[in-house]
Chain A
């Protein structure tokens, strides 16, 4: 696995040398622990996080504790858009779905950079657009598509954002994200394993047959992939 650096994040990598140097003064490399809640819904956000090689899921949590996924954020994006979009707080919860490293930037510097109107602002706005598209598509997907399809979609979006087509997950996190019991996750992952599409052992998933995985996913993966690629620096598929 390559050593992460700020340029592992595609938004940061797209900045000019001058802009990146300015931001690097305040960027802090932080470990992202599997399952940790990066921010809770309703809380004030102090930092944005640029994933280098981790995956963060944004979830919506209901009063009764049930949750559903809104979006997946990896090295193509940034966690905490509310800070520069002016909201300061957010109704979603951000949870680390795949461990790794991120670079965090205090809110004030994000805002300062955003106000300058340069490449950073441009990238952040385009990223926010792609996030909105993903959220809208996920809302439809949660409503109309099966758990199996949703798992496929999520796996594809995740490995697109990781250095290799492998992910270590916990069933609990996936269950919370898909809004099902763990058995549902075991079943869905088991099916994929039986079909030879993934190998799945003790929480470690390796995608073996990517075209097949895409075929088993709903259209939502392709819609999100296309929009993300259209708006942002390209995320190369494996």
Chain B
């Protein structure tokens, strides 16, 4: 009889907030409401107002950019290593992207007004948020190059790893259709790439759920962007 847990280990805090000194952390959390984010929930529309900022605990948020009225592409993804609400921190009320919950779960929510107040009154919070935004900018720059130069298979591997990191699980529900939209690639390209990763026994499908079978192997199959992202985060926020 197996004694060890097989459930994924879910975080109970947000890593950015953990970074703050005890007092500031408690102060900020006291001004947040813990909410349960639902899959597909829209937190902000592209061009729409941002009412609240979110610090995911065991959930993650996809930032999508609508293009040319019909396409949409994912530009960033924020889990408990970060937060959603960068425009607010930069003094802007409007979201340039669509923010959609891609991984359901708990998060801390704070009104944009309260958040701006906290930023201006606490250097520690300001510094932490600035560092994260620096990391996100570097990631956006990297993703821009990745989208242009890296082959689909490597991009898929990278995306799967990034998602698994933020889902804190090796298994999640995903369709080729969805993946195609996220990466801005034709569906047939995704099917080919996923097939290749499956053949190499790096990923597997069980009842509609994708499971990463060989994480290390998938890292090797990914473009260097995956590691570069982690290194950048560690350097700025470690």
Contact = CB atoms under 8 A, between A and B. Distances in A.
B12 A64 contact: yes
Interface in A83-105: 89-91, 93, 104
A65 B219 contact: no
A35 B3 CA distance: 26
A42 B18 contact: no
A41 B168 CA distance: 12
Contacts of B67: none
Contact of A65 (B11, B216, B227): B11
Interface in A49-90: 61, 64-65, 89-90
Interface of B: 2-13, 15, 18-19, 21-22, 170, 214, 216, 219-220, 227, 230-231, 234-235, 237-238
Contacts of B18: 172, 181-182
A181 B219 contact: no
A170 B230 contact: no
A188 interface: no
A40 B9 contact: yes
Contact of A33 (B21, B230, B237): B230
Contacts of B220: 30-31
A30 B222 CA distance: 13
A171 B233 CA distance: 12
A173 interface: yes
A166 interface: no
A61 B9 contact: yes
B22 A183 contact: yes
A183 B21 contact: yes
Contacts of A104: 216
